[in-house]
Structure 1
């Protein structure tokens, strides 16, 4: 169901791939097999699922559809610890499909192809887990028929068997008689190759082949043409040279030609326990070799992409309104060359002696109306009071009922309009700031208007500071970031234990710990803790599986750390490295040294952008 080969993990959708299947939005292609293609999607709740879409050739066969529907219904009853459950399907639509839970782990085929044969303890736990899966599958009345390394996924807590029972639907189609092969000859049982009845014992023979493949790294009956392999499966003995002694009895009994002579599922589990030297298998937390376990992280599906929100409605840009100024300030600010100022009539003694009520509403009149009863001292500029040099004072007057006098309404409107115009266009006008002082408002003049015959500019000069508002209310563009430097590509660098890379080196080459260079990227094989990569001169970020590694991504990331355990760095994992010297690097993990190699190292591709960010002082 969830076939993943070593060529890639999440492949982008091709032009001929569907985008949606029955409401499931497809985000990537996981692999392809003899019966169809497998895609990554998500449930409405955001859980990743693997969706297998059946090939059109099979979809056109009515007998295939009938059997496919029966087998899927049976598969949905299988709920084992070591199986990937079928959660949804459709056998009647234009294109049959089924969905299973997504398992974040490489297939056994991909793990062996990448890292070589597995150690004995891992093989015993692998076979015992597959046997438990077959126990549940057979209990539901299903024979797998196509048990092979690509149908066994290696998860962190044990194997997962996928695609159980689906091959039976293809056995009935006319395509099989015309040369289309659904099963894999290398892992078929003799009775299956000869076209005889298929039983649960058929899966036991395939399990023996899977065990031999995991321990040897090659198929027990060799490779080559389908006819040659099938002949050896039926007539010859398997080649088990190099098979560890602990596994010999288990594998030999499973590969018995006669189905009646093969062990049962329960016998297989007992044989695994005996070979491990225990009465009961115990699954350690790290049952996989380090290099294989590291591949699991790279296959963790990214969170479901959020639906694209509609673009926001554009609103017209409105210049910010100038702050409200007192009439006196407006009048002073409006003063300019050849610009007369209207001065209202001074209030009569009767008006000044009448108790005043604060007017309702807002605006300059409300802000400046007298709030105390009794005689009010004459304002500056009235008879008997000298006016401040170079200024003209305007006072607002209210009627006894607290409302502005009607005969002064037009005057007040004129003054407000003059104030607004003065604030927007006059240079050198008086500006007033209102400050709270013990609950009282006071106005402080910060400048005065000079009488001059020269024409003053009607707009303020643009300031040099970034983001300073211009007269129209817009802002100056922000300062430009550093230019994008050229990328330097370095492929397949083997960084050995305790060696490091310095991004400032033109020829990026691992250097040992004693060499006096910047330890920008260090790989360490720790004996008493997790292996890790680290940096001593910058910051690291582990990108999410769904992120695209690029200069822009690395510039914007802020989830900084200085150490990352290698168990989180599977094949294809990417890291951003930012050094204090201002260099950026995208580091892609290609793999690790196989178990058989005497050296410990990790293989990486490195893309370097030098002087891509502002340099920081070394800590």
Structure 2
């Protein structure tokens, strides 16, 4: 989704968009993608920036937050000429966000889609600039992982590679456990498509794909369903038909073996050798139509920054407020209140949003007592009128009610007498002479020897089994827990990073206690975990019948498909199926499980 309309006008904010993030006022919408939404904003000094807010479902994942924090901090070290540097961020906000320098140019995807493939000189300058950007990114210890035409912006002085490293933050989130892959299939490397370790060479493969797209308008592995494109990437050779001879070295970037691909420094050298003139980035490196778009965007951004904020309309006259409950402050970016007839027109290049209601303006002088209303003629004097007398009541109903009450009172007295006599006749003994005081006689249940009559309405009734609910692909990072009452169960960390072993609500936790064997643990604060053997069928009946309780099970005791019954202290019973651990090359440590929960299947704290 592009954020710029024809003529260089920016798309206005939509109804669900925030109007500000932290101290930044959002001016327009630049685009939206799988990771979040990007807005145009400005620094206090008026410099445009691109501010990205992260999707709520990613924000709620604790492992994503941890990785996002790491990647943003690493991205701050990237200060190359062909990247968009990080300006500001907040990874701890309810909705994390990241602000980078704004690039007043279309993406490569938009430019090629609207104007067609780039000429060879532009492609060589594009490749050299992207390679230089990747060199700086890799030097900071970051692999882009999602290099594609929409993540390459075309500025007047060269390309800009954006969104480096952010895709890695989503690799171990709950989204990956539900079959969502990180990266764009048409531009993935063979090793990334196969789930193997991703290295800087993977970005070089994507660079070759982007170069083929820029030069021909199509990728090297065609279009179609994602699985078909991925199959061709892994098993077939690229289609580079129609590619100019000067760009033949792109085939080396698309080698199946990462070791055979050129380095970023070598790519820059190859671009220089393929160019008949020395490579120099200037304002004329792009076709005229694309350069004109960049000029339009620069002008629109400057005009939007200089546009005055529309003042709110004056409120309608109301009765004087003599005692407001709480003071109301004017918003940080509001203009001085003025009459609605003097509002400036909304500029066509900014977001067309209705003016907000004017805030309450507190007065700072002594309070003025409200004046009584003034009338130009004498008002008639109001006098109370006599109320009509109520009708006379029918006395027949009164006497009938007294008679009914008397009969009910006599019946109640007779019942009390019978109850007292019954207590005298049966105190402390049953019909066979056995003592019932300790066998539940107070609740009306029959005794253990079967001598009770079993007709008491207060006896315990069998409740139906609760309906099971299954959640698949839950990733639990090390030192995190899940609660079975949550729907769906989401990993959470103890306060101040405390151990989940000592939390009262850790229905299922994953914890590495260290020790000599370094064997991580799966456990529950309810201290009722049972590892089922292969012959047992996981079910509610099985979990209720098994009583070989333990608090924790070593990770070395389980394998893919192992099942555990877990009883929480809140009365929930869960069947946990182990699906696996984080790959060896993954920097994170987590386990993946499927959980089937029978909520409130037993009494809370049963058996304790």
- TM-score normalized by structure 2? 0.50
- TM-score normalized by structure 1? 0.49
